[in-house]
Amino acid sequence: MTFNDFDLNPLINKAIVQVGYETPTPIQQKAIPIILANNDLIACAQTGTGKTAAFSIPMLNKLAAKKQDGKIRALILTPTRELAIQIHENVIDYSKFLDLKTTVIYGGVKQKNQVTALANTNILIATPGRLLDLMNQKYITLKDVEILILDEADRMLDMGFIHDVKKVVKAVSNKRQTLLFSATMPKEIKKLAQEFLTNPMNVSVTPESSTVEVIKQELYHVNKNDKKKLLIHLLRTDLKDGALVFTRTKANANRVVKLLIENGIEAKAIHGNKSQAARVIALQEFKDKKIEVLVATDIAARGIDIDLLDCVVNYEIPNIFETYVHRIGRSGRAGAKGRAISFCDYDEREYITGIEKLIKQEIPLMPVNCDLDKVELFKSVKTPRTSERRSSDNGNKIKPKKPKEKKVKGISGIRVDKKSDESKENSSEQKASKPRDSKTRDSKPRDAKPRDAKPRDSKSNESKDKRFGRNTEKSKSDNQNFGGNKIKQRNARNFESKNNADKSARKVQRKG
Ligand code: AMP
């Protein structure tokens, strides 16, 4: 099949040839004819499948068929500014020979330039918060919208935008065609679709919530404190072409960047506290291979589109399982081979259990094939603050700051909070409203017994050591895998019988 088979406007075909697409991807093959036939559509497609072109190309075909009158005729609603910018770039590419004006608006920047750019716009790409702001200020009316596209609907739900989305949809004329794209199809999205779509057709390119198959996934069990060394080791050996590294929080993204720079690896972070300009520069430098590593939080990474991204590293495992699918979808885009490496410490193993359930496969466990104790890390020397110098001049001892202990949530095996750690950090880019209703799918306790309560398989320690390629006499290498079997068994016991232990402790106290 080729794009010619869709019988598109020749000017759109010309643009497609210029961007270098030869064959429509599966989602394009399925979705484009349905949209061209004016149907509403629910499409279950992950990022990286070519979904942007799947909705943009038929949208442009429909808009180009009518004379333009400077009104907003198509609206694409998307959760993050990165994604909005990405879609904007794609639509500009596909419409370069058409007489259509496309504008993108998103929060986090001043509205003035965006308001100016809105004049005579035909296609508007927007994040929900900024769109509502400008609608409330009467800069935008959506009454002429003929096609409404809700992109990454599940993500908008996760980010707490659902009420904003509903308000926007209600402001659009009922005579519209509505397309809903989502990587996953939770109940709430199905409900939303029922409410806002009319007799929709359904297409799905991968089974719900399944992982992009071309991606080679690898899992490393590693102590939290050894993650730095493992990352440096891999970047020095196996990942010399660099990688996109994910952390759960903005603070950790900064820490990883600092670590990499101290160790001679060029790196930059993108997250909600970085200005839009800084994010764009970092992304461009990564695309141009001026920096080897881009460290990103999930929200900032949404919409990152880098061709031929070899490897994604999950430095921290996401506590929202679907996020794993989104993250690794950065690699292996449009059918290219990809690789996703996950570093999992003891506390994160229940997340892996949840992820594996979601993707319906076990992520292959890799042995840490080096002695992490021998990996050297460099640290920049900190100049003490003036006040500290003064007090030490006076002979006063400076008390070292006690490191804050971070509580690990969700250890009970129940997914208590759907919001990511990054969201909890109160990201400025999220106009997050209420957290999701606790009665949604998250309230269902997950398999109460994480696989980690037991060793990964029930084989003896000896055979497991063989599987890990370890020297059984060497306790050091045990350390690389959750601090040795004794600790592991102890932790597992503690983990499993925490409640019982608490109860019996209380009993003993009462008896005493
Ligand atoms: P998306 O899923 O929309 O984020 O697209 C992922 C990547 O696939 C982007 O880099 C697109 O430019 C690319 N792409 C989309 N459609 C095609 C196609 N038919 N052939 C080759 N690449 C494509």
pLDDT at 274: 81
State whether 167 and 299 are in the same domain: no
- Ligand 1 geometric centre to CA of 348 (Å): 33
Domain membership of residue 56 (yes or no) is yes
Best of 305, 330, 331 for a ligand 1 pocket test (most atoms within 8 Å of beta carbon): 305
Q: Contact 454/491 with Cβ under 8 angstroms?
A: no
Round to whole Å and give the CA distance between 352 and 346.
10
Round to whole Å and give the CA distance between 285 and 312.
17
pLDDT at 261: 95
State whether 185 and 296 are in the same domain: no
Provide the domain limits for residue 222: 215-374
| Per-residue confidence in pLDDT tens, the chain, 512 aa | 899 999 999 999 999 999 888 889 999 999 999 999 999 999 998 777 889 999 999 999 999 998 878 899 999 999 988 889 989 999 999 999 999 999 999 998 899 999 999 999 999 999 999 999 999 999 999 999 999 999 999 888 878 888 999 999 999 988 999 999 998 888 888 999 999 999 999 998 864 344 556 788 999 999 999 999 999 999 999 888 889 999 999 999 999 999 999 999 999 998 878 877 888 889 889 988 899 999 998 766 665 666 667 899 999 999 878 788 878 877 766 556 789 999 999 999 999 998 998 887 899 999 988 888 888 888 765 555 544 444 443 433 334 444 444 443 332 222 333 455 555 553 333 333 333 333 333 333 333 333 333 333 333 343 333 333 333 333 343 334 444 343 344 334 443 444 444 444 444 444 43
Rg of the Cα trace of the chain?
25
State whether 103 and 184 are in the same domain: yes
Nearest residue to 77 via CA among 123, 36, 30, 120: 123
Q: Which is the closest atom of ligand 1 to the Cα of 305?
A: 10
Q: Contact 64/89 with Cβ under 8 angstroms?
A: no
For tokens 């109940």, the residue is 187
Pocket around ligand 1: residues whose beta carbon is below 6 Å from it?
Answer: 21, 23-25, 28, 47-53, 305, 307, 333-334
Q: Which is the closest atom of ligand 1 to the Cα of 47?
A: 2
State whether 185 and 267 are in the same domain: no
State whether 350 and 291 are in the same domain: yes
Best of 89, 90, 205, 330 for a ligand 1 pocket test (most atoms within 8 Å of beta carbon): 90
The residue out of 358, 374, 390 marking a domain boundary is 374
State whether 338 and 364 are in the same domain: yes
pLDDT at 334: 58
Say how far residue 244 (Cα) sits from the centre of its chain.
Answer: 11
State whether 138 and 260 are in the same domain: no
Q: How many separate domains does the chain show?
A: 2
Domain membership of residue 463 (yes or no) is no
Q: Contact 130/106 with Cβ under 8 angstroms?
A: yes
State whether 246 and 184 are in the same domain: no
- Ligand 1 geometric centre to CA of 334 (Å): 5
Round to whole Å and give the CA distance between 62 and 32.
11
Domain membership of residue 419 (yes or no) is no
For tokens 């007489």, the residue is 99
Round to whole Å and give the CA distance between 328 and 483.
28
pLDDT at 319: 85
| CATH number, position 185 | 3.40.50.300
The residue out of 151, 181, 204 marking a domain boundary is 204
State whether 240 and 288 are in the same domain: yes
State whether 349 and 282 are in the same domain: yes
- Ligand 1 geometric centre to CA of 507 (Å): 62
pLDDT at 369: 82
pLDDT at 304: 66
Domain membership of residue 423 (yes or no) is no
The closest residue, in CA terms, to atom 11 on ligand 1 is: 50
State whether 130 and 161 are in the same domain: yes
The residue out of 204, 228, 252 marking a domain boundary is 204
Nearest residue to 345 via CA among 496, 488, 493: 488
Domain membership of residue 380 (yes or no) is no
Domain membership of residue 479 (yes or no) is no
pLDDT at 7: 94
Domain membership of residue 462 (yes or no) is no
Q: For residue 460, is it left (φ>0), alpha (ψ between -120 and 50) or beta?
A: beta
- Ligand 1 geometric centre to CA of 272 (Å): 26
Domain membership of residue 505 (yes or no) is no
As given in the structure block, the two tokens for residue 341 are: 């490496």
Q: Which amino acid is at 324?
A: Y
- Ligand 1 geometric centre to CA of 53 (Å): 7
State whether 164 and 274 are in the same domain: no
pLDDT at 423: 53
Nearest residue to 339 via CA among 316, 362, 363, 305: 363
